[in-house]
Amino acid sequence: MRRASLGAGWAWGIGAVALLLSVWAVLDFLDALREEAARGVVASATAEQAPPSPLDAIELHRLLPDATDDLGTLVRVDGTVAAVASDGFWVRDLRDNVVYVALPSPSRKRRGGAELVPGAAVSVLGVVGLVAPRDAPRIDTTALAVPASAVVVRDVRILPLERGVAVLAN
């Protein structure tokens, strides 16, 4: 009779240890989730507060020919104005990529009183934005005077930062 009670005691002891280990694992998992959530909140709060630096900008040609995976990325485009539209302008970079820069206000005047005219050298600092299908027909490409070898990027546009368009020379 003594043997049966000794076996039952071991079974209860092992069960109790297994229960304690399970509770400990659940509490450790919940603590890890809380730490992960706290890190995520801190990272997003600092990311929103930090202003974009021109040094962090990527040259647009590195993201082409398909930059739709890089929406919101800070980019820099240096080139010449290929054509001017009512709500933006086309820029042709040194690698013959032509991209549309959407201006927030219909002003053709830029820093220093320089005007956006075809052939003007510009430097644009902005983020990659998607051209919505409803906006694509409104972007006029008839005024573009570019060689046949140029790549006209029609699916993304550049949304310049405040003071992100600099006319270098006319």
**141 Cβ contact partners less than 8 Å away, ≥ 6 residues apart:** 83, 90, 152, 154
Same domain as 84, residue 11: no
Distance CA 5, CA 83 (A): 93
pLDDT of residue 18: 93
Same domain as 87, residue 164: yes
Q: Which residues of the chain have pLDDT under 50?
A: 110-113
pLDDT of residue 112: 46
CATH number at residue 154: 2.40.50.140
Retrieve residue 113's tokens: 């009183």
pLDDT of residue 20: 92
pLDDT of residue 140: 61
pLDDT of residue 127: 85
pLDDT of residue 139: 61
Same domain as 14, residue 70: no
Sign of CA pseudo-dihedral 45, 48, 52, 57: positive
Same domain as 95, residue 45: no
Query: Which of 50, 72, 91 delimits the end of a domain?
Result: 50
The DSSP secondary-structure symbol of 79 reads E
Distance CA 30, CA 37 (A): 11
Same domain as 97, residue 34: no
pLDDT of residue 111: 46
Segments forming the whole domain that contains residue 117: 54-169
Same domain as 152, residue 80: yes
57-102 residue pLDDT tens: 778 777 776 777 677 788 888 888 888 877 888 888 888 888 888 8
Model pTM above 0.85: no
- Structurally, the chain folds into a number of domains equal to 2
Same domain as 81, residue 29: no
Distance CA 138, CA 136 (A): 5
